[in-house]
Amino acid sequence: MHDDRSITEHRLRRVLKERIKPAVHTRPVPLTVERWEAPGEPVPVAEALAAPYGPCAAGDAWGPAWGTTWFKVTGAVPADWAGRTVEAVLDLGFDRMMPGFQCEGLVHRGDGSEVKGLNPYNDWVRVADRAAGGERVEWYVEAASNPVLVDHAPTYEGDRLTASGQPLYRLARMDLTVFEPEVWELVQDLEVLYDLMTQLDGGDARRYEILRAVDSALDEVDLTDVPGTAAAARARLAGVLAAPANASAHRISAVGHAHIDSAWLWPLRETVRKVSRTASNVVALMDQHPEFVFAMSQAQQLDWIKTHRPGLFERVKKKVADGQFVPVGGMWVESDTNMVGGEAMARQFLYGKKFFLEEFGIDTKNVWLPDSFGYTAAMPQIVKLSGSTWFLTQKISWSQVNKFPHHTFWWEGIDGSRVFTHFPPVDTYNSDLGGAQLAHAARNYQEKGRGSRSLAPFGWGDGGGGPTREHLARARRQRDLEGSPRVEVERPDAFFEKARAEYGDAPVWAGELYLELHRGTYTSQAKTKQGNRHSESLLREAELWAATAAVRVPGFGYPYEDLERLWKTVLLHQFHDILPGSSIAWVHREARETYARVREELRGLTLAAQTALAGRGEEELVFNCAPHARRGIPAGGAGRPRTGGEPVTVEERHGGGHVLANGRLLVEIDGRGLLVSAYDLEEGREALAPGAAANLLQIHPDFPNMWDAWDIDSFYRNRVTDLVDLDALEVTESGPEAATVTVTRSFGSSTVTQSVTLRSGAKTVDLVTDVDWQETEKFLKAAFPLDVKAERTASETQFGHVYRATHTNTSWEAAKFEICAHRWIHAEEPGWGVALLNESTYGHDVTRDVRPDGGQTTTVRLSLLRAPRYPDPETDQGRHTLRFSLAPGANLGDAVREGHALNLPERVLTGGGPVDPLVAVDEDAVVVEAVKLAEDRSGDVIVRLYESRGGRATASLTPGFPVSAAVESDLLERPLAGTAVRPASPSGTIPLTLRPFQIVTVRLHRR
């Protein structure tokens, strides 16, 4: 037989595109269209409905960047359409290839209620299933003219302050039509069979069976009367569509989804509208398809619907109760997990799960994070303590070098906790359930022979509107179809229950899930990162002192509502395209403004509590919010600091520069303004490699192959410029308490001033870098070559630290050429180490080299600033103040203590006398992470603490107030199953035993 596959396939493609698909909607009648341009930002629906509308017609240009145009659409169903299915086609001028990244619309009735969203693959609105004829149509379309920003080219359209005012779109059509159900079904039949056929091997008999059936069906189609012949064509396809799947066919649990970034190439306010458009589509689809299941994560997005669209929210709640609309994720937003602090990660779950419980009565058991840029090794324990049992992501499939070896596995965290985890092998969180994607999922699935199931999230994302009726049609046809995986639309929990039952002995992956891509997100948009770190620290302070005042000071009210609101604001900005610095200029401009407001409000809350605690008096009191005592002031207490320590001396250095000493450290700064010695006087050990200079600023070109704000590629290291030219070098402070040497340099169009300070009694060198950064596509690093033979470094992460090798023996280690650390990174050889501490920097790199003298230099560098041009062409331009410290002779405990000290500065007030801590812990390895009052307003005190050094620890927790009982709780402050309630002992202490990196939350019931 002649091979005529290509002829039939080409015939099918053309007939589908040019004849059959256009025949789905017939007999178009133009609707009457009027328009009104909303001034500035979006307006309430009621205001738009009452606005004065002017004439408009198909073909008219509309929509400047970030504008809102309201279209009023009216008409009547022709009388001779009685008994027919009638739909309107409302095409705003869509580009069919970019759902979610262009104009979008939301259709309203005259009373303001939502009908459904409009997007490139969902531009129809049902008028009547069986028209009577004469029905009146009146809708109002809120159309958002969002600019297209996906081409990775620098643009100023990413902020309404700099965007152009020219219309971006042209209205295509707004027609009443007759919807031809049989033609639509034929389209679905042919598309499913074409996709399946082209995925089958050329020698597979099944492929030829489908080919001949398609050829026969096309013979039945009268191209001049597609609606009249569609049924006959479908009959020719019935046999091949009825053939059941093979017994061994892969099983796919299809879960409706719409991945909506809470901000990215649009601002937060546009996401508020995107989620309403998508939710309105979803609930409308559920009304027609009771089998449809949709999973939505991010409590924040549902809260936006509740706030801005209460009627729609009630419809969502009903669908949740019916089991079709499934809240997933358990977090306030789909946050970044690399840079979010430990307590903030706990609050993501606290406030996310609390919302789902209060609004829907659902205790979510899942973590749904398909798109974050790598996953901290601390996550499994946090997941378990939130009451969740499984984890899903897809993003690791983006790794550039190493293919992750599992799709279903147990993920083990730094403390030993394990969570059942799945990576969908379909390799997308926006599946179309097409044959190509399903075939890829089946081929790609790595658990063959042990497991047989995977999950596929389907639907158009990023505001594309979610699943469509076409997606559901594909799922129905592929439920049991020969040559295809079996597809079942079901809830994600159902998939995980089946997968775990089938494959409970899945392999274990221990440690972080490092994404070998998007490493630049540890550094881009430094002020956003700084705002996050400072906000986390300020929230800790405000809660600690407010809780202490609420317990100790009669009449002091704990600011529950303010703190919850501020926490949710910070949690929102930890979304995985805000905190990582990968959003448009508008997002980061607003983030800077928001963080400034958060800072001022939290400082006000803290000051009010501290003032109440200090009382009246003129005694100078230092408040210590850090989890360790310093200068004689206990952790969580206030008093007069202890003085002591040798005075700091400053001398001229032979050959130029200065020498600072305080009896513990001797620091040399040469004539170039670089650190050339950091000598540990107590241990008789030099921290810096011989002949090398530290605090060395280095600049690299920074032009990755793609994803400018997201990526740095390893070849950036091939070219480096050391910034050693000096403008000024001077001693700017010299006294017994502290000495400072200030260095000023110029480079390119930028200037930098660095202050090097040594303080009395300190074992750290404090470094402050003020930069006026005016570079483009450059990468600024600060290098510290250490005389330490370190096989690995420890980097702080949430509630502990993670080790990473300094060598590049395998491709897995080599791929980690940029890593994330929180407040510190530590390099050590047995008996002695060095910590590099920071106040708001996350990106680091570590390299090793062997010197001619045989010693090893371990160079640790902080990634200070980048200057990518997409999606924000002005990324990081302007002034920055970055603080970091070098701690020679530091062990892990020192790193933890000094990292907190740098990030939690002392506060000085006057008052009547010392303030005792609300709670105290007698073991330095056990760190108190949070002290607050319980969310249920009971007045109970919540204390969260963890073992910080990676070893076992025993400690006593001593409340500074009468306690009737102590209960170990989960992150939602509920009693933890299987743990004892500890009555208060006569001494008031609570004994604790912690395994390495264990997190313990204790609820203290006040007497």
Provide the annotated active-site residues: 371
Burial profile 25-50: b = 16 or more Cβ within 10 angstroms, e = fewer: beeeeebebbbbebeeebeebeebbe
Strand partners, 832: 829
The number of beta carbons lying within 10 Å of the beta carbon of residue 239 is 10
* Helical ranges in 131-246 per DSSP H: 181-199, 205-220, 226-242
Residue 31, both tokens: 């609707």
CA–CA separation, 643 and 633 (whole Å): 11
Rounded alpha-carbon distances, angstroms, from residue 245 to 248, 332, 483, 487: 8, 40, 6, 10
CA–CA separation, 54 and 65 (whole Å): 21
> Among all chains, which residue has been given the structure tokens 């001077």?
730
CA–CA separation, 623 and 609 (whole Å): 11
Strand partners, 743: 729, 754
Residue 580 preceded by cis peptide, ω within 30: no
Given its phi and psi angles, is residue 2 left (phi above 0), alpha (psi -120 to 50 degrees) or beta?
beta
In sign, the C-alpha dihedral spanning 921, 927, 933, 938 is: negative
Classify 973 as helix, strand or coil: coil
For residue 900, give every residue at least 6 positions away whose Cβ sits within 8 Å of its Cβ, in sequence order, or none: 626, 627, 628, 823, 927
Burial profile 418-444: b = 16 or more Cβ within 10 angstroms, e = fewer: bbbbbbbbbbbbbbbbbbebbbbbbeb
φ/ψ of 776, rounded to 5, equals -130, 135
205-220 and 181-199 helices, crossing angle to 10°: 150
CA–CA separation, 366 and 420 (whole Å): 10
C-alpha angle with apex 518: 803 to 824, nearest 5 degrees?
35
Classify 210 as helix, strand or coil: helix
CB-CB contact of 517 with 399 (8 Å): yes
The DSSP call for residue 102 is S
Smallest CA-to-CA distance from 173 within 29, 26, 20, 18 is with: 29
